[in-house]
Amino acid sequence: MFGISVALVVFLVVGFLISHFAFRSSLFWFRSIPVLTLVLLATWPLHYDASTVFPDSFKPWIWWLLGIAAVAAGISFRFWLGVVYIVVVPLGWIALRVSPSGGSGELLLAIQDSLHLFVLAAIATVMAAAVRWQAAKTDFANQDLIASGVKSAQSQAVELEQSRLDALVHDSVLTTLLVASKAQTPQEISLARVSANEALRKLDSDSASAEISSAITQVSFFEALRNRIREVYPSFEVSLQQTNNSLLPELVSEALTEATLQAVDNSTKHAGGAARKSVSLQSQGKGLKIVVSDTGKGFRPSKIPKDRLGIQLSIIGRVKAAGGRVFIRSEPGKGTDVVLEWSPSV
């Protein structure tokens, strides 16, 4: 039984080290250590025969595992479960230490050991809870910043679109007036009439377009998004490869803005300061494509935890809900590309 127990401990420790450094995903192994320790504590009498005589200096080797297990439980378990663990394990140690299989130690020394174990694990649990709380505050602040960025970019896009329409109205009306003011011959009067009809047609067309779900053109959307990224994330290079005046529904522009800003924020936090970061904006017919790239640390997309809401909800879920597609290309040490695509349904 002793050999099996040691082998299991070594197996879990090696598994934890490999999963942490090779795959950056070690939560399962981290939680397995305190679970195994609890099982060993409960089954400790099976490790020795009842007739075994222990020397006065004997101390069960599981003692050196309890501290690590309690700290691991406090960090990796839910807060309430970690608290239960660091209370139960010291009590279990007292029961084991004074039992024959634990060397029939003195009760007072066993209590002192258990208090030491409890304080160590409690401090680690409180520190882990404080770090998580601070991280949650940071995440909420980032989400608020991104939400504010979405609203700002949308407002700017609408303003740019209105400016474009105002310029169109101005140019069309001004051209018509100039042609009409100079019209003298029947041919020139006919040309002025055609120009006026064309101006009215453009005005009607643009007014109808502006009323469709508060749609904006891709050129206004890209310009507003580029301005927002440059304002908040100046380390990014933003390029406009090609644009057109195809309309973009409000729901789609909001979703793509949020997904792009979230991808840019993720790259800022995880790629590393020395990484080259860029955003490419380009039209593809009536659709569009946005690529957020960096040359940073990279990661394995298949290992993205389900609780990474920034990726799962704000990027993938948001774009898919708007009828778009998301592709994430990344490998450890080879950077990351987040590709957002959208095109109107036929």
* Residue 125 burial class via C-beta count within 10 angstroms: exposed 0-12, middle 13-18, buried 19 and up: buried
Residue 123 inside a domain? The answer is no
Q: Is 326 helix (H, G, I), strand (E, B) or coil?
A: strand
Judge if 71 and 191 occupy the same domain.
no
Write the pLDDT tens digit of every residue in 225-262.
888 888 888 889 999 887 878 888 888 888 898 889 88
- Report yes or no on 116 lying in a domain: no
Instruction: Please list the helix, strand and coil fractions of the chain in percent, rounded to the nearest 5, in that order.
Output: 65, 10, 20
- Average per-residue pLDDT for the chain: 77
In a domain, 68, yes or no: yes
Give the model confidence (pLDDT) of 306-343 as tens digits. 555 567 777 888 899 889 999 999 888 889 999 999 99
- Let me know whether 151 and 89 are in one domain: no
pLDDT at 281: 93
Instruction: Please name the amino acid found at residue 192.
Output: A
Q: Of all residues in the chain, what percent carry a pLDDT higher than 70?
A: 67
- Residues 41/95, Cβ–Cβ less than 8 Å: no
- pLDDT-wise least confident of 59-68, 88-97, 142-151, 278-287: 142-151
Q: How confident is the model at residue 291 (pLDDT cuts 50, 70, 90)?
A: very high
CA R_g for the chain: 33
Lowest mean pLDDT among 30-34, 110-114, 211-215: 211-215
Task: Supply the pLDDT for residue 211.
Answer: 45
Rounded distance, CA 195 to CA 39, Å? Answer: 88
Residue with the bigger pLDDT between 317 and 177: it is 317
Q: Is the pLDDT of residue 173 over 60?
A: no
CATH at residue 244: 3.30.565.10
Is the domain of 319 the same as that of 195? yes
Q: Give me the pLDDT at residue 102, please.
A: 78
pLDDT at 171 over 70: no
Q: Are residues 67 and 149 in the same domain?
A: no
Query: In this structure, are residues 345 and 287 in contact, taking their beta carbons and an 8 Å threshold?
Result: no
What is the per-residue DSSP string for 48-59? S-TT----TT--
Within this chain, do residues 262 and 190 fall inside the same structural domain, yes or no? yes
Nearest to 74 by CA among 112, 129, 113, 114: 129
Residue at which a domain ends, from 86, 105, 124? 105
Whether residue 160 is contained in a domain is answered as: yes
Q: Which two tokens stand for residue 269?
A: 């936090």
Reported as half-sphere exposure (CB side, CA atoms, 13 A), residue 178 has a value of: 6
Residue numbers of the domain that contains 28:
2-105
CB neighbours (10 Å) of residue 207?
Answer: 11
From 89, 105, 121, give the residue that closes a domain: 105
Model confidence at 198: pLDDT above 70: no
How far is the C-alpha of 277 from the C-alpha of 294, rounded, in Å? 4
Of 148-157, 185-194, 300-309, 313-322, give the range with the top mean pLDDT.
Answer: 313-322
- Which pLDDT belongs to residue 191? 62
Encoding tokens for residue 285? 């017919």
Check pLDDT > 50 for residue 193: yes
Specify if 220 maps to a domain.
Answer: yes
Helix 250-270 / helix 107-182 crossing angle, nearest 10 deg: 130
Using CA atoms, how far apart are residues 327 and 338, in angstroms rounded to an integer? 6
Look at residue 80 and tell me whether its pLDDT is greater than 80: yes
Residue 118 belongs to some domain of the structure? no
Q: Which of 53, 43, 49, 51 is nearest to 103 (CA)?
A: 53
The β-bridge partners of 341 are 289, 325
**Residue 191 and residue 100 in one domain:** no
Q: Do 253 and 312 lie in a common domain? A: yes
Does some domain include residue 168?
yes
* 136 assigned to some structural domain: no
- Where does the chain show beta strands of DSSP type E? 216-217, 236-242, 247-248, 277-284, 287-294, 325-330, 336-342
Same structural domain, 165 and 293: yes
Q: Quick check: 179 and 195 in contact, CB under 8 A?
A: yes
Shared-domain flag, residues 16 and 94: yes
Q: What is the Cβ-side half-sphere exposure of residue 35, based on CA atoms within 13 angstroms?
A: 10
pLDDT value at 210 more than 50: no
Q: With bands split at pLDDT 50, 70 and 90, how would you rate the model's confidence at 213? A: very low
Same domain, 77 and 160: no
Our count of domains for the chain comes to 2
In the chain, DSSP finds a helix count (H) and a strand count (E) of 10, 7
Tell me, yes or no, whether 25 and 154 share the same domain: no
Does the pLDDT at position 303 exceed 90?
Answer: no
Say if residue 91 is in the same domain as residue 149.
no
For residue 154, what pLDDT is reported?
A: 65
Average pLDDT over residues 278-301: 90
45 vs 100: CA distance, rounded Å: 8
Pairing of strands 277-284, 236-242: parallel
